[in-house]
Amino acid sequence: MAGPALDPAAEYNRLLAADESAAAEQAASLPDAFTAAGITFDGRPMRTFLRPHFVARHQWERLRGDGRRLLELAARVARRAFDGDARRLCAFLGTPEAEARWVSVDPGPPDVVLSRLDAFLGPAGARFIELNNDAPAGFGYGDRMAEVFARLPVFRAFARRWAVAYRPSTPALVEAVLGAAPPGLVSAPTVAIADWAEVKTRADQQILQSAFAARGARCLLADPRAMELRAGRLWAGSVPVDVVYRRAVLSELVQREDEVSGFLRGYAERRAVFVNSFRCRLSEDKAFLALLTDEDFVPLLSDAERTLVARTVPWTRKLEERRTSKDGQEVDLLRFVREHRERLVLKPAHAYGGHDVLVGDEAGAAAWDEAVRAGTGRAWVVQERVAIPEEPFPAWVDGRLRFEDLKVNVNPFYVAGAEVGAVARASRQAVINVSAGGGSVPAFVVG
């Protein structure tokens, strides 16, 4: 096996460069292999690259452990903040009223069973920039991508020299969702994966539906608009549902509230268990990272928790007129934001998919000042920019093998604290998102 001083990514790239015909064959076969495996986004093969992402085992253990601790800490703090008053926490976060009404309904813990964390992985460990609790996607995609890459000839040649492993996420997800079923059922629970019929990630849900079926569980793909209450149960068509594995995000559900009234009543009246509950939205909110890192909320965390947050979460504040602490010094927040554009990122607190994120050193001064003015006092946050790792990724372009330095983030999954896997995304832009033109690859552990 190769020694730890070598670079697995460089070795994989070298194997591709040494046999361009194999690289060409892989580039030609991947779209068809992805389609056959159901790894499609909006009906087309998921955008990807010619090699997976590699994480050294010691980095992986720390990434996984820190991510799990941070996610569970955030969920606990969301229940303790403001003396447990979800309405007051929503007011701090700036949660839109249409969502706050549903977030404040408490079906009881756990609030977060499934999540995906967005992290940049550097020499000092992971820095987590977002928690994606509200209907996280990609569990099925990640496992299937790993299976496809593991069959590639170049990967098999690489694996003969390197100890390489992948931790699947789907089996743990199936057990966690089934385990959330109400006690006392006389038969196996029926699961509905609830999302819009036209959603672009339908294929990911079909992969998971197959996994439930392989486990012997009944699982339906159900549009929330076609679900209703009858005889004290929540129904998907002609089938009563015990567990809703919710993939429709809350912001879209409240936009169509009249169309999904039965679905929402089923939640409010606890006619089925929802995974995740709407309360997961509290600790996902980008402004929640401002709460975790803000000196005003220090009493909510233990010394060990504050150390974890300081090490893994970038400095984050709501964009508002105030004095606050930065690197041990008191500063005027808005003045600091205007004067240190190159070190900062502006984000809408409630958006997802990378929309409207403004990276300071990629924005002009005038655009930055206008964004600060427009976002002040609204549901926007400012976050310290994290150094984004770059790696050379191989791609087949115009009949040639080329290597391009791309920005990379790693997205470890969370499934009720179990040991699960991760995907990685790469892009030319600092805002890395598949729906915004980036590509996704499986993340393998080496060493």
Any idea where the domains of the chain sit in the sequence?
1-167+282-314+386-447, 169-275
Tokens 């000092």 appear where? 124
Per-residue pLDDT of 384-425, as tens digits, reads 999 999 999 998 988 999 999 999 999 999 999 999 999 999
In angstroms, the first-to-last Cα distance of the chain is: 9
At residue 6, the pLDDT reads: 72
Residue 293 pLDDT more than 90? yes
Instruction: Tell me the mean pLDDT in the region 115-135.
Output: 94
Q: What is the C-alpha to C-alpha distance for residues 267 and 107, in angstroms, rounded to an integer? A: 8
Q: What is the C-alpha to C-alpha distance for residues 323 and 345, in angstroms, rounded to an integer? A: 19
Residue 1 pLDDT more than 50? no
Lookup: tokens for 281: 């939205």
Beta strands at 316-318 and 227-230: parallel, antiparallel or unpaired: unpaired
SS3 state at 317: strand
With beta carbons less than 8 A apart as the criterion, state whether 44 and 191 touch.
no
Cβ-proximal residues to 84 (8 Å cutoff; 6+ apart), any chain: none
Q: What are the angstrom distances between the C-alpha of 318 and each of 251, 259, 291, 294, 355?
A: 20, 33, 9, 10, 18
Residue of 282, 349, 243 lying closest to 111 (CA atoms): 282
Would you tell me how many other CB atoms lie within 10 Å of the CB of residue 364? 9
With beta carbons less than 8 A apart as the criterion, state whether 441 and 52 touch.
yes
Per-residue pLDDT of 42-61, as tens digits, reads 999 999 999 999 999 999 99
At residue 3, the pLDDT reads: 45
Instruction: Tell me the mean pLDDT in the region 160-183.
Output: 96
| Length of the chain (residues) | 447
Lookup: tokens for 212: 């439930």
At residue 285, the pLDDT reads: 92
Tokens 């999540």 appear where? 115
Instruction: Tell me the mean pLDDT in the region 248-272.
Output: 97
Q: How confident is the model at residue 24 (pLDDT cuts 50, 70, 90)?
A: very high
Residue 311 pLDDT more than 90? yes
Lookup: tokens for 262: 């039965």
Cβ-proximal residues to 299 (8 Å cutoff; 6+ apart), any chain: none
Instruction: Tell me the mean pLDDT in the region 200-208.
Output: 97
Q: What are the angstrom distances between the C-alpha of 76 and each of 84, 90, 224, 289?
A: 10, 15, 29, 13
Lookup: tokens for 50: 């010619």
At residue 391, the pLDDT reads: 93
Residue of 282, 433, 413 lying closest to 350 (CA atoms): 282
Q: What is the C-alpha to C-alpha distance for residues 238 and 253, in angstroms, rounded to an integer? A: 22
With beta carbons less than 8 A apart as the criterion, state whether 102 and 282 touch.
no
Instruction: Tell me the mean pLDDT in the region 307-322.
Output: 96
Fold category of 169-275 in CATH: Rossmann fold (3.40.50)
3-state helix, strand, coil in the chain (%, to 5): 40, 25, 30
Residue of 240, 224, 237 lying closest to 272 (CA atoms): 240
Lookup: tokens for 109: 């813990």
Lookup: tokens for 286: 């980008």
Beta strands at 218-222 and 316-318: parallel, antiparallel or unpaired: unpaired
Radius of gyration of the chain (CA): 22
Instruction: Tell me the mean pLDDT in the region 81-110.
Output: 96
The secondary element (H helix, E strand) that includes residue 15 is: helix 8-18
Q: What is the C-alpha to C-alpha distance for residues 122 and 423, in angstroms, rounded to an integer? A: 16
